[in-house]
Chains A and B, each alone.
Chain A
Amino acid sequence: MRMSAFIARRAAYIIFTLFGLSVLVFVLARVLPGDPVLIMFDPRTPPEIIEQVRKQLRLDRPLYEQYFYWLRDVATGDLGYSVYTKRSVTFDVLEYLPASLELIFLAAIFEVTGAFLLGVIAGRFSYKWPDNLVRVFSYVGISIPSFVWAIIFQLLFTWFWPLFPTIGNISMGIPSPPKITGFLTLDSLIAGRFDAFVNVLWHAMLPALALCLGGMAQDARIIRTGMIENKDKDYITMATSQGLPERLIMFKYLLKPSIIPAITVMGMDIAGMLGNAFTVEMVFRWPGFSKYGIEVMKNVDLNAIVGVVLVIGVIFAIMNIIADILVAYADPRIRLMERGE
């Protein structure tokens, strides 16, 4: 099977899953107790108006018909009208999503670099003190939820030892760059505003760190295990006895096969940050998608809730496809098998 066919099959499968997800969320939002129209108005509104709105939103039709209309709108990029923000959900998504993606991107960079560094160090000095230290870190890191990390970091590094800003994503005194892409970092770079760029990064440090530690701990452990297991393989013994430099053995022959199992897990961890961002963004009052998500959820804004879940589903799926493709590229066994060799 060719790479393009592999990707096409994955994509088709994911579209099917997302379709199922949309049915699930839609049904949950409509079937569960509570009248969506009554939530919109205060109790004194005359019933005629309520009925009119109900007709307008097609909420008087049967469920499958409602779903059909909804799906038609979604296909054109329209996620419906948000009762809470009084704007189109699509507009809100485009407004709030970039800030979260920036945060997750930074956290992903931290996670991957940290996992490699720690994993390689632990694998190189296996069963000595650096390895033990990494193992302790990985147990602690996996066990502490990201919102607990967030609170600890906030307490230590913004209050007791004020190295970083406490909340938000840009300082009050610094004017935001003109909005082009919606990504504050990119817009600052486009406008040549390095002060704003650095300021946003500075704000993102602690939340990104809180987001990535759990995954970093897990990935470091997987890389370490891989390196230690591969050390006993014959080809490493041969390379060592031939007198190849240690650095070459470490990075070329030992690290490469050890990272393959870690890639899938990294992909899942990074995609999972979309979930953990909900708590971390709350602690640091990061004006992102999760903050928006929590607000619409607390106000039972059904269209927006369905939109939030669906958008996260799409991003989650894309990240998993990327991880699959990376694994297929990194692992010659998969690559060759798919060519039928």
Chain B
Amino acid sequence: MNKSRLLRIKNSRKLESAKRMWYRFLKSKLSILGLVMALVSISTALLASLITPHPEDVTKVTHFERKLLPPNLEYPFGTDDFGRDIFSRTIFGFQYSLMMAGVVLVLVVPIGVVLGLIAATRKGLIETVIMRIADIFIAVPALVLALAICSVLTPSVFNAMMAVSLMWWPWYARLTYNVASSLKNEYFVQAAELIGASSSHIMFSEILPNCLGSILTKVTLDVGWVILIGSSLSFVGLGAQPPTPDLGTMVAGGGQYMPDYWWISIFPAIAIAFIIMGFNLLGDGVRDMFTE
């Protein structure tokens, strides 16, 4: 048996297991719904400037001749106190929410995962220091500490992202640490240690691939949670500032016009729930994929 044949067998096995995972994902209709909702959110965010009827309304423009209009054919979600089209602003709000989730997770996942791996493979002082520091960040609800950090910095989209990132890495460190600690006693890891594999090889080539399922599930679910925290920050007024078309800011901005002009708050609020629900359902599907 030559090498290329071996490789082909290996690849076909990989394809086979990928097919099986996809099958497990498709078994639940809710996962498919989640995938569709997540894809709709992402594609509307990406194509926002193309599909919105009034892309100019995302900035601080005023059209007083059409302010506070209820939902109608031209303005499906109505207009706000500045006469801006809420539908267009909501679509752009998807952009901000998903950007927030993207930036935070891209920053946080590698840092948290690497720290968790280090803590799990190097027992002793390093482990204690990393995991106890992680505990400190988890000792209060994430929203509270993120709010405190945002307030000390100047409130803005960027600072909100930094504050949430600072709060979020411990969860990945913890998750990876737990999975990796149990993997450490498996025979394949001990075998690698016996042959004298380097600690980075053990961490990244032996242990990490087996943690990916849990990490990926958490990443998918966390898109929703980060968006939730982000919109809560801006809802309170310590995140994105107006006129940024952030969904949380828009919900808060409509508060003073309740109940007569309810559409200003309600449509962005429904949009937040839509994104979070999409990624929650998708996350459940991803979990099914990795559970045999």
Which residues of A are interface residues toward B (Cβ below 8 A)?
16-18, 20-21, 24-25, 28-29, 32-34, 139-140, 142-145, 147-148, 151-152, 154-155, 159-160, 271-272, 274-276, 278-279, 282-283, 293-294, 297-298, 300, 302, 305, 308-309, 312-313, 316-317
Contact = CB atoms under 8 A, between A and B. Distances in A.
B141 A271 contact: yes
Contacts of A148: 251, 269-270, 272-273
Interface stretch (B4-12, B60-68, B83-91, B143-151): B143-151
Q: Which 9 pairs, one residue from A and one from B, show the smallest C-beta to C-beta distance?
A: A275-B141, A143-B277, A297-B151, A159-B259, A275-B143, A20-B136, A148-B269, A144-B273, A143-B276
B235 A275 contact: no
B148 A308 contact: yes
Nearest to A283: B255
Interface in B213-265: 224, 228, 231-232, 235-238, 251, 255, 258-259, 262, 265
Contacts of B147: 278, 293-294, 297
Nearest to B137: A24
Contacts of B126: none
Contacts of B143: 275-276, 278
The SS class assigned to the B binding surface is: helix
B203 interface: no
A139 B284 CA distance: 11
10 contacts: A20-B135, A29-B152, A143-B276, A145-B276, A151-B265, A152-B269, A279-B236, A297-B150, A305-B148, A316-B141
A145 B231 contact: yes
B151 A316 contact: no
Contacts of A16: 132
Contact of B139 (A21, A34, A283): A21
B48 interface: no
B200 to A, nearest CB: 29
Interface of B: 30, 132-133, 135-137, 139-145, 147-153, 224, 228, 231-232, 235-238, 251, 255, 258-259, 262, 265-266, 269-270, 272-273, 276-277, 280-281
A140 B237 CA distance: 26
A268 to B, nearest CB: 9
Given A148-B251, A297-B238, A278 B136 contact: no
B144 A274 contact: yes
B90 to A, nearest CB: 14
Contacts of B149: 28
A294 B238 CA distance: 9
Contacts of B236: 278-279, 282, 294
B148 A25 contact: yes
B224 A309 contact: no
**Most-contacted residue by chain B among A20, A140, A275, A300 (CB, 10 A):** A275
A24 B259 CA distance: 42
Nearest to B254: A151
A305 B142 CA distance: 15
**Most-contacted residue by chain A among B133, B140, B152, B236 (CB, 10 A):** B140
Contact of A151 (B237, B251, B281): B251
A276 B233 CA distance: 11
Contacts of A151: 251, 255, 258, 265-266, 269
Contact of A298 (B135, B238, B259): B238
A130 to B, nearest CB: 18
Contacts of A274: 140-141, 144
Contacts of A271: 141
A276 B273 CA distance: 15
A293 B224 CA distance: 25
Contacts of A144: 273, 276-277
Contact of A275 (B142, B259, B276): B142
Nearest to B224: A143
Nearest to B37: A143
Contacts of A283: 255
Contacts of A300: 151-152
B152 A28 contact: yes
Nearest to A276: B143
Nearest to B152: A32
B139 A147 contact: no
A129 B276 CA distance: 25
A263 B237 CA distance: 34
A312 B140 contact: yes
A139 B30 CA distance: 10
B148 A297 contact: yes
